[in-house]
Every structure is written in C-alpha cells, then in structure tokens.
C-alpha cells in the first residue's frame, strides 16, 4: 500500500471520478466539435450536437471513431489545436495500411508522463530507483512514455532504447538498474540471454513494466523467474496517448485505467451496443483531457472485461482485464475463431517456450494452420519416438483448445524471428482480400 504518484486522484471516490468525467467530457465534446471539422461532420451525420452531451450518461449518443477514420484524416484532419501549439508527434508501427500519427501539446505530454509515473510507482518505483527503459525511442510511444514517467517519479532514467543486448546487460549490471521497461518478448529474450551468460546473480532488478504486446500469465512467470523480478503489465495505445492508459498495481488483478483522463466503455464489436458491466467485449476509449488529438469513443479492437470491484491496493479507478485478443489479430480458420494467446497458453502448459509462429494457408480451398515451435533442451531426447510422442500430445492439446487440427513443426532454437521489437506471431498466406 502507499505506492501512489497522485494519491488524491488514484484513490479518489467514485463520485469524484464521475464528477471529473462528466465535466471534462462536456468540455471535450465542445472542443472537438468547434475545432475539428471531420468530427463535427461525423456528429452531424449522427444528429448529435454538443448540447446533447450533458454527462457521461450521454456518451453512447456519440459516433465511434476507428482506425479507418484516423487514416482518412491523416495527417492533420483530427488535430484540435493550432499546429503552433503542438510540440510532438508519435506514430503507430504501421504494419498495415497507412500510418497513424498522433499529436501532443506540452500539456498532453505532461499528463501522459503523469500516467506513466503512476505505473512506475505502482510497480514499486521511487526516486531512488534506476529505471532502464528498453522500449524503442522514436516514433514509437514506448520509450518516450516510460522515460517521461520515470523523470516525473524522479528516478535515475536510462534511455537505453531497444537492441544491442550485450550493451543492455552490461549497463544493467554496471549501473545497477532496478526497474526494466520493455516489451514482454524482449524481456523474455533478455532473460534467456542473461541465463546463457550466467549473469543473473549480478542483476539488481526488482521489477519490470511490460506492455505493447499480448503476453500470458505463463510468460509472466517465465520472465519473473529468468530476471528475478515481479513483472507488471501496462496498457496503452498511441491513438489515446501511449503506454500508461492503464497499469497494473501490486494486486495484479487487472490494470487500473486512468479514468480522470480516459473514459472506458465495453461494446459488442458486432452491433456497437454498450454492454452491461462485467461483460466481455471491445474496449472503447474517450480521451477527456487531451488537447491536440482528442478522440471520442475510439474503438481499440482489444477484447476485454472491465471490473469495478474495490481493489486491495486502494486505487479506485476501474480495472480492465488483460486483452483476451484483438479483433484484428483474431484469425478465422475453418470458420473457427483462433487467438494467438490460446496457442501460447497450450505451448507453455506443455513445457515449450512461448516463442512460436502461426502460419495460416489455404490449400485446395481448405484452411490449414501450422504452429512453428522452437525445440527446447527439456523437450529434446535422443529418441525420435519420445520427441514425436510429445509432439503428438501438443497437437492433441491444441486441438482441444482450438477445436481444429493444427500441424506442429518443431524448429531449431532462435530461428523464429523475435526480438528486439514486436515478434511476428502470425503469417497469413491465404490472401483472401
């Protein structure tokens, strides 16, 4: 208890949070309507004016905004302040289609840094810590966000960025880093590299803040063991600000959404209807304090559940579950919904590494799914019968989880592209569109 950056906000009463949200939403809707023609047009099409929005109870009346809108309006179409007031941009990794560019005023960056500072303190950080930021710096929000948050906490910040694993480990040992921030796949890779070099004993790490990628509880345990830390989850997206939209506390029963800045809703991804409390659906965010790039009802495509039960950490902000999948990551194979996280869970349960690649293909008009898995010393044997036996068990476990047959291919260690950024988990060769 007590690791708060802004206790008066993080532990505010529900009534207080609601009051902030009501007031800020009304103001934000007006700001957007007055300054963003693209938005005004969308609202007019739906027959909504700022006068219709009197509190958060009216939020559902507003139109959604999606990644397609962001691409349509690229680059300046959604900016709500004069460009002279903007001080920075960030951009999504842009693996599909056009990049999305988000704008920030100095005020926006300050509030974003505050959110990251809350996350760092929730992970046990203080001004006596050495925060090792191995997220990429640049257009990606990861590096800048945690770097800014760490400054706010007053910790000694190492802006490592990603890559050059040997140098990372050297700095970690020499400068006695205590908190590491990076993607979970890079944390797992660092853990393996440190184990290979036999350097775990020389680390001073106590916790890690990992996000920007899907990861499972099993992967969390692997990382915690290999680095000797407690691993915390962090959630965010460039469109809304960056990392720190939500973060985990020591209770680790979900991530607290910074509700003084972001209103969260869960909707049915098919119909767009707001779902009742506790139901699983698509997460939608409204940023109520952003000046430069405020988004109203932005559809994240992340599938999750909100939980308003009182948290043992003392924070009162709503908690979101770890995303259970992304509607755009979701594969439909032979008509069955397949989430990569399901495959990862099976692999870890069966003793394989969480490094895998899913390859989907269409052969003779029929979908085929293949999962490439790296061989591990534990799974290896001189007996082919034993290896193929274990392989068969894995095929059966995948079938039980997914409901369809997936071919398993065992490959040599470190051959699946991983690493320093986001791991390529899915290759869809079907070319259906």
Partner 1 sequence: MTVKQISVFIENRPGRLAEFADIFSKNNINMRAMNIAETPDFGVLRIIVDDPFNAANVIKDAGYIASVTNVLAVAIPDQPGSLLSILTLIGENDINLEYTYAFPTREKDTAYMIMRVLENEKAIQVLSQNGVKLISQEELLKLY
List residues near partner 1 by CB under 8 A. Answer: 375-377, 380-385, 387-388, 409-415
Min dist CB 361 to partner 1, Å, is: 16
Q: How far is the CB of 354 from partner 1 (least distance, A)?
A: 17
Nearer to partner 1, 275 or 387 (CB): 387
Provide, rounded to whole angstroms, the least separation between the CB of residue 420 and partner 1.
18
| Cβ-based neighbours of 317, under 8 Å, separated by 6 or more | 10, 17, 256, 257, 258, 259, 260
State the minimum distance, in angstroms, from the CB of residue 385 to partner 1.
Answer: 7
Please, which residue, 173 or 411, has the CB nearer to partner 1? 411
Toward partner 1, which CB reaches closer, 55 or 388?
Answer: 388
| Least spacing, CB of residue 411 vs partner 1, in Å | 6
Q: Which long-range contacts (CB under 8 A, 24 or more apart) does 217-224 make?
A: 218/344, 218/345, 218/348, 218/349, 218/354, 219/184, 219/188, 219/344, 219/348, 219/354, 220/184, 222/188, 222/191, 222/348, 222/354, 223/184, 223/187, 223/188, 223/191
- Shortest Cβ 424–partner 1 spacing (Å): 19
What is the crossing angle of helices 184-197 and 217-227, to 10°? 40
- Which among 117, 116, 336 is positioned nearest to 243, based on CA atoms? 116
What kind and span of H or E run contains 342? helix 340-349
| Residue closer to partner 1 (CB basis): 34 or 386 | 386
Q: Report helix, strand or coil for 304.
A: strand
Please report how close the Cβ of residue 198 comes to partner 1 at its closest, in angstroms.
Answer: 13
Q: What are phi and psi of 168, to 5 degrees?
A: -55, -50
> Which one, 122 or 373, has the nearer CB to partner 1?
373
Residue number with CB closer to partner 1 (221 or 392): 392
What is the total residue count of the chain?
433
Shortest distance in whole angstroms from residue 384 CB to partner 1? 4
357: helix, strand or coil: strand
> CA 131, CA 36: separation in Å to the nearest integer?
38
Report the residue number, 375 or 404, with the smaller CB distance to partner 1: 375
Q: Judged by CB, which is closer to partner 1: 41, or 414?
A: 414
Kindly calculate the radius of gyration of the chain based on its CA atoms and give it in whole angstroms. 22
Cβ neighbours of residue 259 under 8 Å, at least 6 residues apart? 17, 20, 21, 317, 318
In the numeric block, which tokens belong to residue 352? Answer: 């394989």
Q: Which of 234, 7, 5, 248 is nearest to 133 (CA)?
A: 234
CB of 396 to partner 1, least distance (A): 17
Cα 209 to Cα 159: distance, rounded to the nearest angstrom: 14
Backbone angles phi, psi at 326, to 5 degrees: -115, 140
Residue number with CB closer to partner 1 (95 or 385): 385
């Amino acid at each position: 208890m007590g690791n708060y950056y802004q206790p008066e906000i993080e532990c505010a009463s529900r009534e207080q949070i609601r009051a902030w949200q009501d007031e800020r939403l009304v103001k934000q809707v007006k700001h957007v309507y007055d300054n963003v023609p693209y938005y005004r047009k969308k609202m007019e099409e739906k027959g909504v004016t700022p006068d219709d929005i009197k509190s958060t109870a009216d939020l559902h009346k507003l139109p959604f905004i999606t990644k397609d809108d962001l691409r349509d309006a690229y680059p300046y179409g959604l900016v709500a302040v004069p460009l002279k007031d903007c001080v920075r941009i960030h951009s999504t990794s842009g693996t599909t289609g056009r990049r999305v560019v988000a704008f920030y005023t100095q005020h926006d960056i300050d509030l974003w840094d505050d959110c990251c500072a809350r996350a760092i303190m929730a992970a046990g950080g203080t001004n006596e810590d050495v925060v090792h930021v191995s997220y990429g710096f640049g257009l990606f929000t990861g590096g800048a966000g945690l770097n800014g948050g760490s400054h706010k906490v007053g910790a000694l910040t190492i802006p490592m960025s990603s890559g050059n694993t040997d140098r990372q480990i050297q700095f970690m040992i020499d400068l006695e880093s205590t908190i590491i921030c990076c993607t979970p796949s890079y944390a797992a890779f660092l853990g393996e590299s440190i184990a290979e070099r036999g350097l775990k004993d020389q680390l001073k790490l106590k916790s890690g803040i990992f996000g920007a990628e899907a990861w499972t509880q099993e992967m969390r345990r692997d990382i915690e063991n290999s680095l000797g830390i407690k691993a915390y989850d962090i959630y965010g997206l460039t469109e809304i600000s960056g990392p720190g939209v939500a973060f985990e506390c020591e209770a680790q029963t979900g991530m607290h959404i910074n509700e003084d800045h972001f209103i969260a809703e869960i909707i049915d991804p098919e119909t767009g209807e707001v779902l009742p409390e506790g139901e699983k659906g698509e997460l939608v965010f409204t940023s109520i304090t952003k000046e430069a790039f405020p988004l109203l009802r932005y559809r994240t495509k992340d599938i999750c559940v909100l939980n308003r039960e009182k948290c043992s950490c003392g924070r009162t902000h709503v908690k979101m579950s770890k995303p259970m999948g992304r509607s755009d990551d979701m594969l439909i194979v032979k008509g069955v919904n397949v989430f990569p996280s399901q495959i990862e869970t099976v692999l870890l349960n069966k003793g394989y590494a969480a490094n895998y690649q899913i390859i989907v293909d269409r052969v003779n008009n029929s979908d085929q799914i293949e999962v490439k898995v790296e061989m591990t010393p534990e799974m290896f044997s001189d007996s082919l019968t034993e290896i193929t036996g274990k392989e068969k068990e894995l095929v059966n476990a995948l079938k039980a989880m997914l409901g369809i047959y997936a071919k398993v291919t065992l490959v040599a260690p470190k051959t699946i592209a991983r690493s320093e950024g986001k791991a390529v988990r899915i290759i869809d060769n079907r070319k259906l569109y």
